[in-house]
Structure 1
Amino acid sequence: MSTSSCILEARGLRKSFGGFVAVSGVDLDVETGNIHALIGPNGAGKSTLFNLLTKFIQPTAGDIRFKGKDITHAPPAAIARLGMVRSFQISSVFLHLTVYENIRVALQAHGRDTWRFWRSERGLHRFDDQVHELVCQVGLEPLIYTRAADLPYGRKRALELATTLALDPELILLDEPMAGMGQEDIERTSALIRSLGGKHTVLMVEHNLKVVADISDRITVLRRGEKIAEGSYDEVAANEEVRSAYMGGAHG
């Protein structure tokens, strides 16, 4: 793949913890505008690789480039400012605030307006159009004035994505976005993530292989810290190493 078309590139990524190698020599190319899934059985190294890419941990070896810039040793806050934002690893919403207020806070943060929290409510109405646009994008219009604490689980995750989108990221990293959801919320969230393709690039770790098949442009498969396959869903599903890795139905 031409590196000019890739927003995120990793070469030779390795992470060892003492004598245990969690990620071993992984190369990764995430193409701009794609929805790229990272999958593998339990213990494959997916979470460690995700933490390396988002700079929550430092690699033992290898390098990472975002939009052509070396971010191997950059802190998470710095890469967020560059346009790479991670969501869904923990709840990122204020439970006592409404949907509307949560999204407005995120817009204020993106606009470097955090020092204006003391200003009157009237002065914050300039965010209203953007808030309503994001609320509509994630399907939360009927719940716009509902406190986050009172939202059903799946709708709370939709709010988390709305607050992420408020930061206007170029690359969104989703850590198991379907975890804990019922089928209705899975279908709704899948459609939402699919709608992000093109304008945003998405890299996600996901256990639900049906979701991966339905919405991913490209898939990378890990096993025991190594990349064993990459390509479309049909290509990786036909790979004998992938079939062997998933033997017994372990989808973690």
Structure 2
Amino acid sequence: METEKAILKTRGLTRSFSGFVAVNDVNFAVKEGSIHALIGPNGAGKSTLFNLLTRFLSPSSGQIFYDGSEITHASPANLARQGLVRSFQISSVFPHLSVLENVRIALQSRHGETMDFWLSDRRLKKYDDEVMALLADIGLETYAKRIAVELPYGRKRALELATTLAMNPRVILLDEPMAGMGQEDIQRTAALIQKVAKGRTVLMVEHNLSVVADISDMITVLRRGEIIAEGTYDIVSANPEVRQAYIGGSHD
């Protein structure tokens, strides 16, 4: 992979917990404009790496770079403002607000009005055109007035993606976006990820290998905190170490 074109990369990234090394000397790069999948068996270190990249964990050693600048010690909130957004940072759905209100709150956050719930309807309505455009992109415009808790599971996950997009991210990090979905929702969500990836970069942890095969430009495989393979699906699926890691085992 040409790391000079990487928007997100690590150098010697390591994280240990009381002597247990969860991520070990990882040199990792995500090419700008790509859909990059992170896979691996149980205990591979994927969640730890995700938490390090988004600064919810601090590394024991090593460096993290975003858009050419070191972010090893940046705060998660600062990274979100710079366009590096992990879905749960701003996609916690308010269950008893409408779909429109949930996305509008994310837009308020982007414009520095996060806690201004007392604002008049007139001032809040200035966001509504942008909200409806986002909902149309995600296919949720007909759900705008529905209360979030009433949404089917797959549509609720789509709402989370809409609130993520409201932050105008340059890089979206998705942790198991297909978890708990039926086949119809999986197909719909995979198509949505491909759609929102246009003009953006997506890094995702995903267990559904058929989805990874269909939509990923690049795949990184972790095992015991180390990268054992990287490349297209055809390349990594033919790798003996990858096949050994998955044969007879569950997918983390």
Q: Write the mapping of 1:146-165 to structure 2, written as runs, cut at 5 A.
A: 146-165=146-165
Answer with 194-203 or 162-171: which moved more.
194-203
Counterpart residue identity of residue 234, structure 2? D
- In 1, Cα distance between the equivalents of 2:224 and 2:189? 29
The RMSD of aligned alpha carbons is 1.5
* Residue of structure 1 in register with 2:241 after alignment: 241
Which secondary structure state, in structure 2, belongs to the residue aligned with residue 37 of structure 1? strand
Deviations 1:199-251 (A, max 9, x none): 11000000000110011000000011110000001010111111111111422
Q: Are the counterparts in 2 of residues 8 and 65 from structure 1 also a CA contact under 8 Å?
A: yes
Deviations 1:91-141 (A, max 9, x none): 611111100111111111111233643232122222122111111111112
Q: Are the counterparts in 2 of residues 172 and 203 from structure 1 also a CA contact under 8 Å?
A: yes
- In 2, Cα distance between the equivalents of 1:13 and 1:203? 17
* Residue of structure 1 in register with 2:58 after alignment: 58
Counterpart residue identity of residue 110, structure 1? R
* Residue of structure 2 in register with 1:251 after alignment: 251
* Residue of structure 2 in register with 1:9 after alignment: 9
Deviations 1:45-76 (A, max 9, x none): 11111111111111111100001111101111
Runs ≥4 residues deviating over 3 A: 1-4, 88-91, 114-117
Q: Are the counterparts in 2 of residues 83 and 171 from structure 1 also a CA contact under 8 Å?
A: yes
Q: CA deviation at 1:89?
A: 8.0
* Residue of structure 2 in register with 1:103 after alignment: 103
- In 2, Cα distance between the equivalents of 1:7 and 1:180? 30
- In 2, Cα distance between the equivalents of 1:190 and 1:234? 19
Q: Are the counterparts in 1 of residues 104 and 131 from structure 2 also a CA contact under 8 Å?
A: yes
Name the TM-score, length of structure 1 as normaliser: 0.96
Counterpart residue identity of residue 106, structure 1? A
Which secondary structure state, in structure 2, belongs to the residue aligned with residue 235 of structure 1? helix
* Residue of structure 1 in register with 2:112 after alignment: 112
- In 1, Cα distance between the equivalents of 2:48 and 2:21? 10
Q: Are the counterparts in 2 of residues 89 and 175 from structure 1 also a CA contact under 8 Å?
A: no
* Residue of structure 1 in register with 2:221 after alignment: 221
* Residue of structure 2 in register with 1:166 after alignment: 166
Q: Are the counterparts in 2 of residues 89 and 176 from structure 1 also a CA contact under 8 Å?
A: no
Answer with 70-79 or 88-97: which moved more.
88-97
Q: Are the counterparts in 2 of residues 88 and 157 from structure 1 also a CA contact under 8 Å?
A: no
Name the TM-score, length of structure 2 as normaliser: 0.96
Unaligned runs of 5+ in 2: none
* Residue of structure 2 in register with 1:135 after alignment: 135
Counterpart residue identity of residue 228, structure 1? I
Q: Percent identity?
A: 64
Q: 1:202 to 1:192 in 2, by over 3 A?
A: same
Aligned: 1:232 with 2:251: no
Q: Are the counterparts in 2 of residues 88 and 176 from structure 1 also a CA contact under 8 Å?
A: no
Answer with 135-144 or 156-165: which moved more.
135-144
Q: CA deviation at 1:36?
A: 0.3
- In 1, Cα distance between the equivalents of 2:48 and 2:114? 32
Which secondary structure state, in structure 2, belongs to the residue aligned with residue 114 of structure 1? coil
Unaligned runs of 5+ in 1: none
